[in-house]
Chains A and B, each alone.
Chain A
Amino acid sequence: MNALKSLGLGLIIFALFVSSCTRKVTRVDETTQIDISGGWNNTDSRLVATEMTNTILNSPWLSNHTEKNSGKKPVVIVGMFQNKSHEHIDAETFTKDVERVFLSSEKVRLVQGGKNREELRAERADQQSNASVSTMKKFGLENGADYILQGSINSIVDAHKRRKVVYYQTNMELTNIETDEVVWIGDKKITKYVKN
């Protein structure tokens, strides 16, 4: 009887030990707000993307461009983003949303830049010697961008003892490449109060 009791107790302790050691992972909806450390997270990225996508296509720069260029759609290239905050943040998490909105709206055309463009040019160069003449793509026929989308992320941290206020400001600017004229500026400000 005592042996059974000790066996049962041992099993319970073992089960508790195993359950305490197992990691539990669950899938959550991407719109669910989960704040763990107080740092930049997917909710902040989503808020920035929503703000930018809502404003960029409803600003007058788009109608001004089509009026001036007899209905031609503007061509946009995504430039460099600077993260000047205190955390590692990749702007691609919200710039891709803006790009997707450009394409889905069919009001703005996009061209590749940076390393993706380098890869495209390398592939085109490779085709010059390896592809058949009828399928070979020519150099010098790229679409020149009318506007460049650039931006920055800044932050201010005010911390004392266990309390902290973090302020993030995300800026996006659309600039006419020929004239350097800034035609649109979008920003999103996020303030967080963290208590440890």
Chain B
Amino acid sequence: MKRIIFCLCLVLSGSSGLQAQERFAPDQNPRYKEGLNRYIKLTDSLTKNQGTTLQQTYKAYDWYEAKLERRQQRRYWRQHSCFYPHNSWYGPGFYYPNYFYRPYYWNTSSIWFNYRWNLGDRYRYRH
């Protein structure tokens, strides 16, 4: 009998200890564990960039910069026009008929050039 009472006391004290652990702070949301369980898995990925600068830059249109880029592009085409004559088998328009299939060495950051590329061969070679 004494043993049973002792066991009961142990169980009761254990459950009261658990209840004490589950005690909420004043005004704490009782469903806080839902948020905790959601974010505990993401902590590594969400905190890895702390103290750093996330670069989300955009390209601003600058009339003068665009003009310089156009000039540079014209010079490039003038220098390389002998290698890729119009209607040549090796020139643009035959092997690389559109923007997505141009070779890597024609890649440029110039939005003006990319715009002209989409206009087609006639415009590209005459201007």
Q: Which residues of A contact B (CB under 8 A)?
A: 77-92, 95, 112-118, 153, 155, 157, 159-162, 164, 196
Chain A residues closer than 8 Å to B50, beta-carbon distance? 77-80, 113-114, 117
Chain B residues closer than 8 Å to A114, beta-carbon distance? 47-52
Q: Report the contact-size class of chain B (Cβ under 8 Å from the partner).
A: 10 to 19
Contact between A155 and B60 (Cβ–Cβ < 8 Å)? yes
Residue on A nearest B54 in the bound complex, by CB = A82
Contact between B53 and A86 (Cβ–Cβ < 8 Å)? no
With contact pairs A81-B54, A83-B56 given, residues A159 and B49 touching in the complex (Cβ less than 8 Å)? no
A35 to chain B, nearest CB (A): 16
* Complex CA–CA separation, A81 to B56 (angstroms): 10
Contact between A91 and B53 (Cβ–Cβ < 8 Å)? yes
Q: Is B109 an interface residue (CB 8 A)?
A: no
Q: Is B61 an interface residue (CB 8 A)?
A: yes
What are the interface flags for B26-52 relative to A under an 8 Å C-beta threshold, 1 for contact and 0 otherwise? 000000000000000000000111111
* Complex CA–CA separation, A161 to B64 (angstroms): 6
Contact between A83 and B53 (Cβ–Cβ < 8 Å)? yes
Contact between B55 and A83 (Cβ–Cβ < 8 Å)? yes
Interface of A is mostly: mixed
Q: Which residues of B contact A (CB under 8 A)?
A: 47-65
Pick the contact of A78: B51, B58, B62 (CB < 8 A).
Answer: B51
Chain A residues closer than 8 Å to B52, beta-carbon distance? 80-81, 92, 114-115
Interface of B is mostly: loop
Residue on B nearest A87 in the bound complex, by CB = B57
Pick the contact of A82: B53, B58, B63 (CB < 8 A).
Answer: B53
Pick the contact of A159: B51, B57, B61 (CB < 8 A).
Answer: B61
24 contacts between A and B (CB under 8 A): A77-B50, A81-B53, A81-B54, A83-B53, A83-B54, A83-B57, A85-B57, A86-B57, A86-B58, A86-B59, A88-B57, A92-B53, A95-B51, A113-B47, A113-B50, A115-B48, A115-B52, A153-B53, A155-B60, A157-B60, A157-B62, A159-B61, A159-B62, A161-B64
Contact between A162 and B51 (Cβ–Cβ < 8 Å)? no
Chain B residues closer than 8 Å to A86, beta-carbon distance? 57-60
Chain A residues closer than 8 Å to B59, beta-carbon distance? 86
Chain B residues closer than 8 Å to A117, beta-carbon distance? 47, 50
Chain B residues closer than 8 Å to A95, beta-carbon distance? 51
